[in-house]
Amino acid sequence: MKNFKSLLFAAGLAMVTAPFSFSQEVSQNKVIITGVRFAYPLIDKWIKQYSAENPGSQIVIETRTVTDPEKYDLLIEAYDQEKAVKEGREFISIGRYALLPVANAKSEFAKQYEDKGLIEKTYKQIFFHDIFAEKDESITAPFTVYTRLQKAGAPLTFAKYFGYEQQQIKGKTIAGADEHLIKALLKDETGITYTVPGLAYDLNTRKPTEGIAIIPVDLDGNGKVSKEEKLVGNLDQVIEKLETEKVKNVPVEYINFSIAKNSTNLEAKKFLLWVASHGENDLHQFGYLKPDAKRLQLEKEKLEKFLAVK
């Protein structure tokens, strides 16, 4: 009888501790990702691919709102952080994104500039109302600029490229993420903004998103927009041109993953190394440019050393 009770106790103890052990294992393999929302579709694909190869992993995206979630392991950022932030985090470049000018497809502005395109002085006059910039007297169509309210990668990169700060972009400020600029644009026939290719184009058809006109720009900086520079109807052609030629008037910036230098999350480190080795194949599909090959190799070497630190 005593042995029978001992067996029952042991069985009960196993039932109590087994879920705890399983929960502990899942917790150890859990990785929380947050940050730039326009990158989520790409990151989600990587998570699915990685999880298929590593079934024990549990990697989730927690959507960034006004602030980041209280706890996270990996942060997606689309601009160069301050020195103080870099001292505590390791940054890994995963690709590059471009910023294109877009307008509501029904607007007079879209019709006018789909044909003539934007040159640098027109950019500055429209988006920054720079009183010292050379005036483009040919701007006759009405337009309403939409820009981000919160500090974010896209507006910071856009403004910096033309020599300004984010707060100097003129227009209606929209709270929320980059896709909210597109939603505002689609509701206003005078609307114009800047955005990433993944939002400007339909990723399935590779054509401009319905209701949006991509505005051609002066890519070689000669002060006019050629017939070849007006070919913006296909995403893959645009990506090829941005990757293979030295272009002007299109801001391009790296998108990064960052992780705390003192992180003990081994699964997060393993996922980063997997992305560095496999992620490049998916960049074009989602509208991103590939990183510089030498830079990518250095990133892989840095990650391998980082992974070795438990």
Q: Which residue has the tokens 């942060």?
A: 75
Residue 36 and residue 8 in contact, taking contact as beta carbons nearer than 8 Å: no
Instruction: For tokens 């070497």, name the residue.
Output: 301
Give, for all 310 residues of the chain, the pLDDT tens digit: 545 444 444 444 444 444 433 333 445 679 999 999 999 999 999 999 999 999 999 999 998 776 677 789 999 999 887 777 778 888 888 899 999 999 999 999 999 998 888 988 899 999 998 656 666 677 889 999 999 999 999 999 999 999 999 999 999 999 989 999 999 999 999 999 999 999 999 999 999 999 999 999 999 988 888 989 999 999 999 999 999 999 999 999 999 999 998 888 999 999 999 998 899 999 999 999 998 888 888 888 887 887 776 6
Q: Cα separation of 233 and 250, whole Å?
A: 16
> Do residues 242 and 252 lie in contact, with contact meaning Cβ atoms separated by under 8 Å?
yes
Tokens of 270: 């393993």
Sheet with 74-77, edge to edge strand ranges: 58-61, 30-35, 74-77, 252-260, 89-98
